[in-house]
Amino acid sequence: MGVVTSSGRGQIGISREIRKKLNIVAGRAWSMTEEVKGMAALAGVLMFLALFLPVSVFNALASQAEVGLDLEWRPIEGPDEKPAPKPGDNEKPGEQRGSEPEGRPAGRPGEVKTFTANGVSFKMIRMPAGEFPMGSSSGEPGRENDEIQHRVRITKDYWLGETEVTQELWKAVMGSNPSHFSKCGEDCPAENVSWHDCVEFINKINGIVSGGGFRLPTEAEWEYACRSKGRSERYCGGNDPEANGWFEKNSGGKTHPVKRKKPNAMGFYDMSGNVWEWCSDWYGEYPEGLAIDPKGPDAGGGKVNRGGAYHNGAGFLRAANRDGDNPSVRSDRIGLRLARTD
């Protein structure tokens, strides 16, 4: 179990910025290890062939292998990407919005579906596929250097919880309530749960609810929903943090029942503030250019969490703000919100 520091995160004596950098380094190290493994395997094959094949045959194969290696390291040129959508006539000058992919039905954005697990009901909202600018613009106050703005395309509809997973739902599925603020009430967000705890919770609820399909959202899915399909709002629902979230200025140093603040335009509550929310991605640097259904790096030192919490300043509640923690860390400032694929 991680020890919560004054900054509200796990890991003793490590500042937020240093922890972010360590997470990125861990992911890069893993990637380099995989590349070295691949090169070692190829070398082993060539050594085997050199021992058992005639010289003329081996030289021909080795020549082909060199060409293959050369091609592997060249950038692959795919089909030209469609240009980014232009603002519509009804948009305000300078405002950046998401867009629906051309040539496909828009689905039913905002459709609400109710699920029940062991007698406890909860709602999820349908998010349509689309494209939006993820991250923050260079002039946004409070911007951090890991928020480089880039376009993201989400190709499939998905569902996201109307609220954070509540203590009532967690207890109905897991049989106990680990939350530090257990006296807050059943409608308060479940917290003090690690990323691994959340995976266990999801595995169990998938075995309870017919059809299953529940999971953690990707970081891109989380921000797309927070921004109500790509709005350029500073927080998840507008530009006033007090209207949409619980944070250090109004929380009284504790969590609060869900749905007490205004929802965003898609109907999601508490995406800014109350508790941070685990995502499925390893924390890492954003890719350059257009990212299609991004899922983060293959490995890293921490799992992404988003949204800020009751103890944070308003800057941490921004739609673009990012953080990551060791997946074993438990904190009364981190909870979760369910996603689902049909």
The mean pLDDT value of the chain amounts to: 81
Residue for token digits 């609810």? 209
Predicted pLDDT at 32: 54
Q: Which amino acid is at 11?
A: Q
Instruction: Give the range among 102-116, 124-138, 328-342 with minimum mean pLDDT.
Output: 102-116
Instruction: Report the number of secondary-structure helices (H) and strands (E) in the chain.
Output: 6, 12
Say what angle helices 16-52 and 55-72 make with each other, to 10 degrees.
160
Tell me how far apart the alpha carbons of residues 88 and 94 are, in angstroms, rounded to a whole number.
Answer: 11
Inform me whether the pLDDT recorded for 102 exceeds 60.
Answer: no
Predicted pLDDT at 269: 98
Predicted pLDDT at 191: 98
Inform me whether the pLDDT recorded for 236 exceeds 90.
Answer: yes
Note the pLDDT tens digit of each residue in 196-216.
Answer: 999 999 999 999 999 999 999
Q: Which amino acid is at 123?
A: K
| CATH number given to 99-340 | 3.90.1580.10
Domain locations along the chain = 13-80, 99-340
52 phi and psi angles, rounded to 5 deg: -115, -10
> Which residue in 69, 126, 32, 144 sits closest to 340, CA to CA?
126
Predicted pLDDT at 192: 98
67 phi and psi angles, rounded to 5 deg: -65, -40
The pLDDT of 40-69, averaged and rounded, is 48
**Confidence category of residue 78, pLDDT binned at 50, 70, 90:** very low
Give residue 164's Cα distance to chain centre: 14
Which has more confidence, 80 or 112? 112
The pLDDT of 207-227, averaged and rounded, is 98
- In three-state secondary structure terms, 21 is helix
Predicted pLDDT at 96: 43
What's the half-sphere exposure (Cβ side, CA atoms, 13 Å) at 99? 17
Predicted pLDDT at 25: 64
Query: Is there a contact between 235 and 144 (Cβ–Cβ < 8 Å)?
Result: no
**Confidence category of residue 82, pLDDT binned at 50, 70, 90:** very low
Beta bridge mates, 114 = 123
